[in-house]
Amino acid sequence: MKRKLLFIVNPNAGKKISGKIIDIIKKEFPEDIYYQIVIWKDKNHFKEVLDILHSQDYTDAIAVGGDGTVNQVAKSIVGTNITLGIIPTGSGNGLARTLGLSMNVETVIKQIAKGNKIKIDNGTVNGIPFFCTSGIGFDAHIGNLFATSAKRGLQSYIKITASELLKYRSKEYTLKFNGEEIKRKAYLITVANAGQYGNDFYIAPHAKMNDGKFHIVVLRPFNFITVVGILIKIIRGKANESGHIETFTASEVTITRNQKDPIHYDGEPDMQSEIVEFKCIPGSLNVIIGDNFKN
């Protein structure tokens, strides 16, 4: 079957260089592979984009944007035969990095044209699909603040995180998985389908996207003295070696907390109830990978 690609461009994502990227696609993408480009103008317009994607026999949906754009496109094709490709323009680009895709536009266009692909799992959090990480606690709190920030980009995210890092207080949680129940006071709990949040910031360095399991990462309370050591471990891809971090594996986990509170899925914030259910769906999404993909 010949490939037929639809590039779905979010003009407001990340670095706001969509016009330049469209020009590069037209210049660099092979003429012998059929493609079209559609601009995703706003949330209300996305249904029209999906109608085009699903009604015209496209084989590949190429998300051009940040993690939110990628999640939106990916969850619209999960469970189908359509393959996800990514041209990353966001501040984190977690899924693109995990799949070994280049952050250079010209290079990633060549990787998309090459079309090497695999199947990966996806997770759901209270029924909402995610593909890299989802979680509760501090990272969900930051995601909620970042979503309402006037400034976007990595610098803004770092500034908000630094401001809140020692102000945020750990909370009590009950986790049920693999037939067991444990209680933890945690600063954050990340349910990882992939190892990183983005920017090669690995919270679950041994997580794999095609093993049918999550890595459930519990970061216990810490103080000003120990925070630097924890961050160094995470930056070096050795979060699992920190004495403040516990990691469990399971295909499903239910987390109960004391009140309705933020969650995040692939960095996108949402408010959810006291009970948060995570499920792993094996082999649910076809994705294009780069030459640097490591299983």
Delimit the domains of the chain by residue range.
Answer: 4-115, 128-282
Q: Judge whether 33 and 56 are in contact, CB under 8 Å.
A: no
Yes or no: domain 128-282 corresponds to CATH 3.40.50.620: no
Q: What pLDDT was estimated at residue 171?
A: 97
Rounded to the nearest angstrom, the gap between the alpha carbon of residue 295 and the centroid of all alpha carbons in its chain is 17
Per-residue pLDDT reduced to its tens digit, 5-61? 999 998 775 445 667 899 999 999 999 999 999 988 777 788 999 999 999 999 999
Q: What is the DSSP letter of 201?
A: -
What is the pLDDT, as a whole number, of residue 150?
A: 66
The pTM of this model reads 0.92
Homologous superfamily (CATH) for 4-115: Probable inorganic polyphosphate/atp-NAD kinase; domain 1 (3.40.50.10330)
Instruction: Supply 285's token pair.
Output: 């999404």
Do the Cβ atoms of 171 and 186 come closer than 8 Å?
A: yes
pLDDT at 192: 97
pLDDT tens digits, 84-117: 999 998 878 999 999 999 999 999 999 999 999 9
